[in-house]
Structure 1
Amino acid sequence: MASAMSLSSLSTLSLRSYRTFSSSSYFASIPPTSSFLLRPLNFRPTPLRLYATTQPPSATASNGDLETTFFDNVEPSEVFTFDPPERPEGYVPPPAFDELPPETEEEIAVAYEEIYGPAYSGESVLGNDIYVLDAKLKKTSSLLGRKKREKVTDGFEERVVQVRRVTKVVKGGKKMSFRAIVVVGNKEGQVGVGVGKAKEVVDAIAKSSTNARRNIVTVPMTKYLTFPHRSDGDYGAAKVMLRPASPGTGVIAGGAVRVVLEMAGVENALGKQIGSKNALNNARATVIAVQKMRQFRDVARERGIPMEELWK
């Protein structure tokens, strides 16, 4: 009982302490411990006051300083009643949280994706791209727990030219990895050659295909799906000769040159590798030879003459 009375007295004291504060008046208003614990519940301590200076009230008044107080017009013993505004006509109070119908799994998934994104759930309810590794590739998980990459349908086909095991000598020994050469093309005049290295063959092919898509070039062709004129290209020690062919000839070439021309959509052409037989260098030499080609209409436009005068 004594503890309850003391707690109530302390709460009453804390509620009345919002007025003003002064060290001298505060300690003067606190009764001794024995009598303080025996005070009744309706005990009201002396209101506390706070002065601008640390001097007592008499000294403050004599010096002419202003007394700083708060809530002077508020009576602590007055009871205030809350008078809320009237509700408008037709107002329907919202149902309680417990009375709402249970949310479906789709609603929960949508809310979860809006807050955390689709990467945490593994599925996109809002139609977002999940696990996007590159602009043209997305990553999924396989049964063995490995990272499996699935190609996105973008109109380009891939063809692996070469996969080799390469070794890098480091301080601690030899570091084994795989190098893949991939040619991508839409068979409509666009082709690209890329190379990538990784510890696994699948990752190396994925990296090389990404690199090939970043290096797309346009192959000039005539209506017979052949080159407009001859062209030669070299890259390193590899040299490649490209010649146009009549309809029905087909692609007469070998190695990486044939793969590049087929992925570009060329159906009648002659190609020859001279020098090195390196697949990567020959593929890049083919791309360089293709970039040197120009259409007849482009040459006539630059010269400012009609196309008929080019053969005079």
Structure 2
Amino acid sequence: MKNKILLTGATSFLGKNLLVKLKERDEDIFATASHENIEQNIIKMDLVRLDETKKVVKLINPSIVYHLAALVNLSREYNVAQQCIEINIKGTFNLLESFRITKPRIMVFISTEEVYGSGPIPYIEEQPLDPPSGYAISKIAGESLCRIYARELGFKLIILRVGTMYGPGDKDNRLIPQLIMKALKNEEIPVNTGMKKRDYVFIEDVVKSLTKVLDIKNIDTHTVINIGGGISYTLLDLVNIILEETQSNSNVARGKIPERIGEASEWLMNIGKANYILGWKPTVSLKVGLRKTIDYFRKKVQ
């Protein structure tokens, strides 16, 4: 019997890539976003509007829900933090409340490695959380809300805390696309100290982890799983690979951008649990992933 799958945030970077893979399976896919797109079969569901959310969820009656929709911004500015908290928490709350009408069998909630903040590395799923931004706070609140509703309504919950995603199709204003575009144009690349380390994970690997959920036969009622590359790289490591792969003459201007206050010096996740439960591990190295991403943006520049 086919699964009825509800995907929120279908027009996001992760959402678009997941939607392509889900369509390759013999499932009934219902992709939603805050704005309708008839050509791409995207259904309008504005999660901050409870009545609209209830109406769409009731109509679809999903057995599996992938909740990707969120405002993603790591800024510490008050207005940005306020938006993340209001939109992300309210949207998740409304989606969960709609499950009182028709509950799914499984819900997959996408969280972030940033919830660990300056905690000890490599991050493990059971360690205390230390959110440094409004976005991270909104994700922790979302996780908590999901647990409450999963217990009360009786559906299974999988929380995936995902590392720093990158790959073809990423938004132009994000870090890696910005670095690649400047390198391709031989423009100066301004950075901070360049020494903070991050756990990068290629978009195709992230999507594989999400689709693995559909193949699990026995799953705990509530599971948190880290999804990352399992290796941390400095920003300068990242820039140097991009310069090498693009054969760029760009000058790297260190110290041109201030450090983000309160941000951890290193993000690195232990991904052993993902391998044990999902049978998943990343297969695309940073160098290979960046090469594929550069090819994509090179075509855009041309």
TM-score (norm 2): 0.17
TM-score (norm 1): 0.17
Larger radius of gyration: 1
Structure showing the higher helix proportion among its residues:
2
